[in-house]
Amino acid sequence: MALESIILSGISACAAAPKQAGEDKPAQRAPHVRVVSELTVVSDYRRNGVTQSDHNPALQGRVDVRHDSGWGVGAFATSMHGRRGSNAQVSLYGSRRFEFGETDVNLGAAAIIFIGGDADPFGVVQASVARPLGPIDATLSVNYAPPQDAIDDQHGLNVGLRARTPLGRLNGVALTGGASVGWSEAEFAMGAGTKLDWSVGVTAEIEGAEFGLAYVDNDLDDHRGEAGLVVSITRRF
């Protein structure tokens, strides 16, 4: 789904004439680095099922850099409305991917920074396991924020399960279905102690852009948790 730019490529060479002993050196392939960037407009910025933009549209951007050794770094930025007067959020992250057959394991950490208010940044430890299950791509993720001053010395925990599967084509347009369910507690439960959220949606690839429509809901009682449809348009570069 991502448009990948390979900015370093391996170089190999061979000699037609035989070489003297000690001259042979193993051919080495230069490392591959993939850079993916994307720009998204959403009708409502939802994180773990809860609005972070007061049910208003948000502009988002992401840059992700991956090395073929499995190491990666990236940044995600979004407009928002909420946390202690903040109007933007920036997440800086790094991770290491491990492959075990068809199973991908990612271990990493992120710094969550808020702009335009008096909210302090905080850190999150992240882990995920992804594996195809027949036609379904499933991902189990865990995000944990240890107790720290920025979140009132509370911890935060979110466990989520996401699934995506191709739905075929409609009038030549590729469709993909997706669903998610998540459970949060403490700081990540938005003051509710624990929280459950879920979503179901579909995306369509049209002229290099991804159009999405999702129904998002959770079990919070206040207006931040109101169920709704979220429309998104994403362009990758």
In a domain, 22, yes or no: no
In a domain, 11, yes or no: no
CATH number, position 85? 2.40.160.40
pLDDT of residue 191: 79
In a domain, 66, yes or no: yes
Range of the domain at 207: 31-236
Q: Which residues pair with 160 in a beta bridge?
A: 141, 182
Give exposure, 112-127, as e/b (b: 16+ Cβ within 10 Å). bbbeeeebeebebebe
User: Number of structural domains, the chain?
Assistant: 1
**Which tokens go with 44?**
């409502």
In a domain, 178, yes or no: yes
d(Cα 48, Cα 189) in Å, to the nearest integer?
9
d(Cα 80, Cα 86) in Å, to the nearest integer?
7
For 162-214, the DSSP string reads EEEEEEEEETTEEEEEEEEEEEEEEGGGTTSSEEEEEEEEEEEEETTEEEEEE
In a domain, 164, yes or no: yes
**Which tokens go with 64?**
């992700």
pLDDT tens-digit readout, 132-183: 999 999 999 999 999 999 998 999 999 999 999 999 999 999 999 999 999 9
What would the 3-class secondary structure string for 12-38 be?
CCCCCCCCCCCCCCCCCCCCCEEEEEE
In a domain, 163, yes or no: yes
In a domain, 2, yes or no: no
pLDDT tens-digit readout, 56-97: 999 999 999 999 999 999 999 999 987 778 999 999 999 999
pTM above 0.85, yes or no: no
In a domain, 48, yes or no: yes
